[in-house]
Amino acid sequence: MARFSCDYRFLLLLAAGVFIYIQMRLFATQSEYADRLATAIEAENHCTSQMRSLIDQISLQQGRIVALEEERKRRDLECEQMKSLVQDLERKGVERLINKVQVPVAAVVIMACNRADYLERTVNSVLKYQRPISSRYPLFVSQDGSDPGVKSKALSYDQLSYMQHLDFEPVQTERPGELIAYYKIARHYKWALDQLFYKHNFSHVIILEDDMEIAPDFFDYFEAASILLDKDKSIMAVSSWNDNGQKQFVHDPYELYRSDFFPGLGWMLARSTWDELSPKWPKAYWDDWLRLKENHKGRQFIRPEVCRTYNFGEHGSSLGQFFKQYLEPIKLNEVQVDWKSMDLSYLMEDKYTQYYANIVKKAKPVHGADIILKTRNIDGDVRIKYNDQADFENIARQFGIFEEWKDGVPRTAYKGVVVFRYQTSKRVFLVGTESLKQLGIEDA
């Protein structure tokens, strides 16, 4: 009995130990669970806080987006209103400059950029002769860029209409070392001519640059030439410039020529020709592009012997190239020629070749060495044959005229013939190997 009692107490003690162990494990498990639960709750609270922060940020961004969209709409509206205002002002300016009863002969546009002092000199020169006939030659200044001095100067004249070309597209030159300016100039020319031909619907446009002065008969010359331009589709454009128009090489202010070389520097273009050129206008070097045979397609240009424009632009995108030698000595015509009374039909394609051939045929041939001395000692016109470009450049260098060629054509040439005055009135004809044949002259 005593042993049984002892065993019973031992079992109770063992059961109590097991119970205590189980309670301890249960407590430990509960504590661990409570810790995990607390961690989970804390993580959930943190996540909830982050989520709320993210939602707040999204709401803030949405608010900003809405605000930016509203700002964009407001600015777009302002831009549209400003554009409408500018167009209205430009329209009113053009209407003011154009006599609705009299159809304009041509719009005159001065291409400008960042030379306010040059622009002022050019505008004043043009207005001097344009004022009495302003309704027939509405005057525009087209500015490339936003130079404030140029804009202010252009807007200070009531006698002209102002246009502004703003182009923020980056320029990619096609070859290393090229000047970006020539690309910008080409873009500006296309934009301005599109505006004048297609927006304002002019039939002719006379293009000047912001470093030019004009002659007293500038407008009469272009009016007479515009009739030729419209009648004869073999004439691509009319120019007021002669590359060999230096004082020592010109004499007769009444003499006009056809040329296979585009002179530029004060020129008139018809809308029908611009319809052809505008879609394929080049990215740069537009003037040399016009001198390519693939673009002028055998058509010629009318030019005077004595220039009707003078270029004083020593400082510009061309960096004064040729200025001292070729531009500064140019003679600007001072004679008021009555072009309306003159018969210019000899310049029409069906008559000019024979007209010019008769003049060249009468010139005395000069051969061999010492051509300058021989030319000096001959009375009357002379003609000198050159064999190729190098030979031409050598002869041109001796006389001091332009040596440059473009796409196989010397400056000022007609059928390879370059003419200039020497010793006041004597004409010198530099004649290519095929020139006489093209003119129908038997070689002496």
Going by the DSSP 8-state scheme, the letter that residue 253 receives in this structure is T
User: What is the domain-level CATH number for residue 236?
Assistant: 3.90.550.10
Give the residue from 293, 312, 347 where a domain finishes: 347
Indicate whether 293 and 372 sit together in one domain.
no
Indicate whether 390 and 259 sit together in one domain.
no
CB 292 within 8 A of CB 250: no
287 a catalytic residue: yes
202 in a domain, yes or no?
A: yes
Indicate whether 259 and 380 sit together in one domain.
no
Q: What is residue 167's predicted lDDT score, i.e. its pLDDT?
A: 87
Give the residue from 347, 382, 408 where a domain finishes: 347
Q: What is the pTM of this model?
A: 0.79
Indicate whether 342 and 364 sit together in one domain.
no
User: What is the domain-level CATH number for residue 376?
Assistant: 3.10.180.20
322 in a domain, yes or no?
A: yes
Q: 332: how many CB neighbours lie within 10 A of its CB?
A: 21
58 in a domain, yes or no?
A: no
Q: What is residue 443's predicted lDDT score, i.e. its pLDDT?
A: 76
**Following DSSP, what letter does each residue of 59-113 receive, concatenated?**
HHHHHHHHHHHHHHHHHHHHHHHHHHHHHHHHHHHHHHHS-SSSPPS-EEEEEES
In whole angstroms, how far apart are CA 271 and each of 186, 228, 230, 303, 362? 18, 14, 10, 19, 39
Indicate whether 203 and 305 sit together in one domain.
yes
Q: Which domain holds residue 223?
A: 98-347
CB 301 within 8 A of CB 327: no
Q: What is the pLDDT of residues 299-332, one digit of tens each?
A: 999 999 999 999 998 775 554 557 788 899 999 9
CB 250 within 8 A of CB 242: yes
Per-residue pLDDT of the chain (444 residues; tens, 9 = 90+): 545 455 666 666 776 676 677 767 766 666 665 567 567 566 666 656 666 776 667 666 666 666 667 666 666 655 554 554 455 555 545 555 555 567 899 999 999 999 999 999 999 999 999 999 999 999 999 999 999 999 999 999 999 999 999 988 888 898 888 999 999 999 999 999 999 999 999 999 999 999 999 999 999 999 999 999 999 999 999 999 999 999 999 999 999 999 999 999 999 999 999 999 999 999 999 999 999 999 999 999 999 999 999 999 877 555 455 778 889 999 999 999 999 999 999 999 999 999 999 999 999 999 988 999 999 999 999 999 999 999 999 999 999 999 999 999 999 999 999 999 999 999 999 999 999 999 999 876
Six-digit token pair at 117? Answer: 């002092």
Residue 410, amino acid: P
Indicate whether 275 and 182 sit together in one domain.
yes
Show the beta-strand stretches assigned E in 215-276: 235-239, 256-259, 267-270
Indicate whether 203 and 280 sit together in one domain.
yes
Q: What is residue 30's predicted lDDT score, i.e. its pLDDT?
A: 61
Indicate whether 278 and 372 sit together in one domain.
no
Six-digit token pair at 126? Answer: 């043009």
52 in a domain, yes or no?
A: no
Nearest to 110 by CA among 236, 212, 222: 212
Indicate whether 169 and 280 sit together in one domain.
yes
For residue 171, the SS3 value is coil
41 in a domain, yes or no?
A: no
Q: Which of 158, 260, 275, 287 is catalytic?
A: 287
What is the Cα–Cα distance from 241 to 147, expressed in whole angstroms? Answer: 29
Indicate whether 424 and 328 sit together in one domain.
no
What is the Cα–Cα distance from 175 to 434, expressed in whole angstroms? Answer: 35
413 in a domain, yes or no?
A: yes
Nearest to 356 by CA among 260, 245, 248: 260
- How many structural domains does the chain have? 2
Indicate whether 212 and 284 sit together in one domain.
yes
In terms of Cβ atoms closer than 10 Å to its own Cβ (0-12, 13-18, 19+), residue 361 is: middle
Indicate whether 119 and 169 sit together in one domain.
yes
Which helix (H) or strand (E) segment holds residue 382: the answer is strand 382-385
31 in a domain, yes or no?
A: no
117 in a domain, yes or no?
A: yes
What is the Cα–Cα distance from 318 to 78, expressed in whole angstroms? Answer: 39
Give the residue from 347, 369, 384 where a domain finishes: 347
